[in-house]
Amino acid sequence: MTLPGAPRRRVNYFEGRLLSAGDLAAEQQYARERTWLHNRVLHGEGVVSGFEVTVQGDDLVVSPGMAIDGMGREIVLVEQACVDASAVVASSHGRVHLAVSWSEEPDDEVIGPEGPVPGHFVERPRLVLLEFGPGGPAADQVVLARVHRAGAALVADGSVRRHVRRSGHSDR
């Protein structure tokens, strides 16, 4: 379990207070970090639901789903995604894994005081093929499947998936 490295600090609102962009950004970050701590400590990391991996030729098809990474961030894939796995060879010996990680990117542009800046950010998960050694995945990666070849056929083995702890649910 990873606890925060410093005491948490939040903005104090009162009538007449002038708020800056920094105050609002700090408020967003405070709320995000509380959610991430909650997820990390109470639920753990792994797949919450979905993120099923199937094979179509040399492509890995990933269904929509939700996962929590080792930092507590929610990773949400809202539509089916496809990953080209043609580079996976039979000699990979099961070290290649399909993983998902949290990512955000600017969505639009607005003019700020010093020029163009992002107006919004959109969370878009990143699906990647990785070769793991003994250390395993990084804290920001959730493994969805081990990928290897059986002869010429691509195989996605989902038995390596870790699921989050969800009390009262039995749909794993």
3-state helix, strand, coil in the chain (%, to 5): 15, 40, 45
| Per-residue pLDDT tens digits for 85-114 | 988 876 777 789 999 999 999 999 999 899
> Is the pLDDT score of 169 beyond 70?
no
> Is the pLDDT score of 2 beyond 60?
yes
| Backbone φ and ψ of 39, nearest 5° | -60, -45
Coil, strand or helix: which one is 58? coil
Q: What is the pTM of this model?
A: 0.84
Contact between 51 and 69 (Cβ < 8 Å): no
Structural domains of the chain sorted by starting position, each given as residue range(s) with its CATH number in brackets: 21-160 (2.60.520)
